[in-house]
Structure 1
Amino acid sequence: MPTILRIKGYRFYFYSHEPNEPPHIHVDKDSRSLKAWLEPVSLARNIGFRPHEINGILKLIEENRTALLEAWHEYFS
């Protein structure tokens, strides 16, 4: 489970056993978790985050999308 970024208490990572899915990122904070697609940035699933927090996380993903995609492609290629 490589961690790619840590921002504002959020941990951005992906699982090493998901190479057959489109590029995506998992985000955890405390006991909450979400999965977001990277192309285009959109919510795939959410466990526990409130709507305003989801929007903030998606904005962080958008702002760091290039680095996240580079990490994804580097790891899975």
Structure 2
Amino acid sequence: MPVVFRERGFRFHFYSNEGDPREPIHIHAAKPGVDAKFWLYPDVELAYNRGYDAKTIRRLRDIIIARRQIIEEAWNEFFA
């Protein structure tokens, strides 16, 4: 599970076995006991939420929007 970055106590990562065929670019945001998945394109959009409140989801989305290029670069480098 490649960790792309950590911020505000959240771990932003993706899994090395992202489906067959591979799923589109996305990122997971996790803390112990909670997880959310966001698609990156065409817009940053919540795929699922397991345990976060609405305020935290908005905060996570803002972080992902700000770092979308870093996430995409890490994804492309890992799966190249």
Shorter-chain-normalised TM-score: which range?
over 0.9
Name the residue aligned to 2:66: 63
Matches of 2:75 and 2:52 in 1, distance apart? 24
Matches of 1:68 and 1:30 in 2, distance apart? 21
Residue 38 (1) aligns with residue 36 (2)? no
AA matched with 1:25:
I
CA deviations 1:7-66 (Å, max 9, x no partner) are 000000000001610000011012110000011211000000000100000000000000
Percent identity over the alignment?
A: 42
Measured on the aligned residues, the alpha-carbon RMSD in Å equals 0.9
Q: Give the aligned length.
A: 77
Name the residue aligned to 1:4: 4
Q: So what's the TM-score if we normalise by structure 1?
A: 0.96
AA matched with 1:11:
R
Structure 1 unaligned residues grouped into runs of 5+: none
The list of structure 1 runs, each at least 4 consecutive aligned residues, that deviate by more than 4 angstroms after superposition, is none
Name the residue aligned to 1:52: 55
Structure 2 unaligned residues grouped into runs of 5+: none
Name the residue aligned to 1:17: 17
Q: So what's the TM-score if we normalise by structure 2?
A: 0.92
Matches of 1:43 and 1:12 in 2, distance apart? 14
